[in-house]
């Protein structure tokens, strides 16, 4: 049992224990973990190659290609991958579409950050204007409680004034 644990530790520590004796899992699982920059670089290169092949009209669809929907076409145009929807080929690689979605997601996040900052600025400005007019929550709550007390007193006087 000790020799088996030592062999698993030599194969990658915890990764070796997780994958066990299945050599078929080493290439797809262990390689990206042990060499992350190479895996990312190969994926980026594959995306560029797929984009170049997708631009050719005589292009034959690969296994990971897909036909873009209308929303996908809008995403590709807004991400700047294509100038017009008519320029988009019939088949797009999933890597190109994922990259376009990521860039659109980032743009939407920037827009949301800007809108949040504008909203905060507007709330600060309106709060300062309300404070200048003495239109504060403390004063509003005090007035509301005084009104409720007056209504309760009026109801008690009305109930005491009417004999049953």
> pLDDT of the chain along its 164 residues, tens only?
455 544 544 555 555 555 565 656 556 665 565 555 544 445 555 555 555 555 554 555 566 788 889 999 999 999 988 988 888 888 888 888 999 999 999 999 999 999 999 999 999 999 999 988 888 888 889 999 999 999 999 998 888 877 65
Q: What is the pLDDT of residue 8?
A: 45
Q: What is the pLDDT of residue 64?
A: 75
Q: Collapsing DSSP states into helix, strand and coil, what is residue 61?
A: coil
Provide the strand spans (E) within the chain. Answer: 65-66, 92-93
Other C-beta atoms lying within 10 Å of the C-beta of residue 162: 7
Rounded to two decimals, the pTM is 0.47
Q: Which residues of 71-96 are buried (b: 16+ CB within 10 A; e: fewer)?
A: ebbebbbebebbeeeeebbebbbebb
Q: What is the pLDDT of residue 59?
A: 52
Tell me how far the alpha carbon of residue 144 is from its chain's centroid. 43
Phi-psi domain of 20 (left: phi exceeds 0; alpha: psi -120 through 50; beta: other): left
Q: What is the pLDDT of residue 54?
A: 56
Report whether 75 contacts 100 (CB < 8 A).
yes
> Which stretch of DSSP H or E encloses residue 7?
helix 2-10
Report whether 82 contacts 88 (CB < 8 A).
yes
């Amino acid at each position: 049992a000790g020799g088996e644990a030592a062999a698993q530790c030599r194969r990658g520590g915890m990764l070796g224990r997780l994958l066990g004796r299945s050599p078929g899992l080493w290439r797809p699982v262990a390689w990206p973990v042990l060499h992350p920059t190479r895996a990312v670089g190969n994926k980026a290169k594959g995306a560029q190659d797929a984009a170049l092949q997708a631009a050719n009209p005589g292009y034959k669809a690969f296994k990971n290609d897909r036909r873009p929907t209308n929303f996908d076409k809008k995403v590709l145009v807004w991400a700047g991958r294509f100038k017009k929807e008519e320029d988009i080929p019939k088949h797009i690689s999933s890597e190109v579409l994922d990259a376009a979605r990521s860039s659109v997601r980032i743009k939407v996040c920037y827009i949301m950050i800007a809108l949040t900052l504008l909203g905060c600025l507007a709330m600060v400005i309106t709060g300062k204007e309300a404070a200048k007019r003495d239109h504060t929550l403390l004063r509003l709550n005090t007035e509301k409680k005084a009104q409720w007390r007056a209504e309760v007193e009026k109801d008690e006087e009305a109930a005491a004034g009417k004999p049953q």
